């Protein structure tokens, strides 16, 4: 058993060394089974207070993706297999917290009201936050999901490119996010690298040495 754990850990590091932010994608499509696994991994990721203050949009429609890519220098927006849009909440409402905590009680087979202390604490906390603070907070949670997506994709040997170079107002408009109480936080393309035409495909990963990047305080 210990050997198996060490072997799995080595595979994770190997897969993370394999991944990079792909610049050119091939026409090969990612299977829906693998996309489903990546989406499930995102859904299982950590979020502050555990309340998932963002939603995920998985887009393959070529016309929609063409519109989303207008004016952007990131061809990955429309040239990859799938486009994931992480959309943060504009506001953390008392109604959302009430419903979410009720769902938590149900899924954990708890009596109704068992998590009232948590519910009341969250409602009190978010009631004094400004809309701007809500947006920043939800964006931070979306980025945690993005990190999980990158790791999950690498484990499945699916290439991915995280991007901030997009027009959030355009995304909000095309996807109708504002009407849903959401805003585009960050995006991620999925697909397979075009090794012949991506100049980064053959380059080794460049990172700081561990002893310069990390510090141990005993």
Structure confidence at residue 9 (pLDDT): 61
Give the model's confidence band at 199: pLDDT under 50 very low, under 70 low, under 90 confident, else very high: very high
Contact status, residue 158 vs residue 26, Cβ threshold 8 Å: no
Q: Output the CA–CA distances (angstroms, integers) from residue 69 to 35, 65, 74, 76, 168, in the order listed.
A: 21, 6, 7, 9, 11
User: What whole-number distance in Å separates Cα of residue 46 and Cα of residue 54?
Assistant: 12
* 3-class DSSP state of 162: strand
Beta-strand pair 82-89/182-191: antiparallel
Q: Which two tokens stand for residue 155?
A: 């484990």
Contact status, residue 173 vs residue 37, Cβ threshold 8 Å: no
Structure confidence at residue 3 (pLDDT): 47
Give the model's confidence band at 72: pLDDT under 50 very low, under 70 low, under 90 confident, else very high: confident
* 3-class DSSP state of 103: helix
Contact status, residue 181 vs residue 90, Cβ threshold 8 Å: yes
Mean pLDDT confidence for 73-80: 90
Quick one: what percent of the chain has pLDDT higher than 90? 89
Structural element, H or E, at residue 152: helix 131-155
Give the model's confidence band at 4: pLDDT under 50 very low, under 70 low, under 90 confident, else very high: low
pTM as predicted: 0.93
Average pLDDT, the chain: 94
Structure confidence at residue 50 (pLDDT): 93
pLDDT at position 1 over 80: no
Structure confidence at residue 73 (pLDDT): 84
pLDDT at position 7 over 50: yes
- Domains located in the chain, CATH noted: 21-92+129-202 (3.40.109.10)
Angle made by CA atoms 56, 37, 62, in degrees to the nearest 5: 55
Q: Which two tokens stand for residue 161?
A: 């490119």
Quick one: what percent of the chain has pLDDT higher than 70? 96
Q: What is the pLDDT of residues 142-172, one digit of tens each?
A: 999 999 999 999 999 999 999 998 999 999 9
Structure confidence at residue 74 (pLDDT): 87
Q: What is the pLDDT of residues 27-67, one digit of tens each?
A: 999 999 999 999 999 999 999 999 999 999 999 999 999 99
User: What whole-number distance in Å separates Cα of residue 132 and Cα of residue 109?
Assistant: 35
């Amino acid at each position: 058993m210990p050997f198996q754990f060490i072997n799995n850990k080595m595979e994770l590091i190997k897969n993370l060394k394999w991944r990079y932010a792909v610049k050119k994608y091939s026409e090969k499509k990612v299977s829906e089974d693998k996309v489903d696994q990546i989406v499930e991994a995102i859904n299982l990721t950590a979020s502050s207070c555990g309340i998932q203050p963002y939603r995920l949009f998985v887009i393959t429609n070529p016309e929609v993706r063409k519109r989303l890519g207008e004016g952007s220098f990131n061809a990955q927006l429309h040239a990859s297999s799938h486009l994931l849009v992480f959309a943060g909440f504009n506001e953390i409402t008392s109604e959302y917290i009430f419903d979410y905590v009720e769902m938590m009680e149900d899924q954990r087979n708890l009596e109704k009201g068992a998590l009232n202390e948590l519910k009341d604490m969250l409602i009190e906390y978010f009631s004094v936050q400004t809309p701007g603070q809500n947006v920043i907070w939800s964006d931070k949670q979306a980025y945690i999901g993005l990190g999980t997506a990158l790791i999950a994709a690498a484990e499945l040997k699916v290439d991915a490119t995280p991007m901030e170079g997009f027009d959030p107002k355009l995304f909000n408009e095309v996807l109708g996010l504002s009407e849903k109480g959401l805003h585009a936080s960050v995006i991620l393309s999925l697909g397979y690298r075009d090794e012949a035409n991506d100049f980064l495909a053959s380059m080794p990963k460049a990172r700081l040495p561990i002893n310069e990047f990390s510090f141990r305080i005993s």
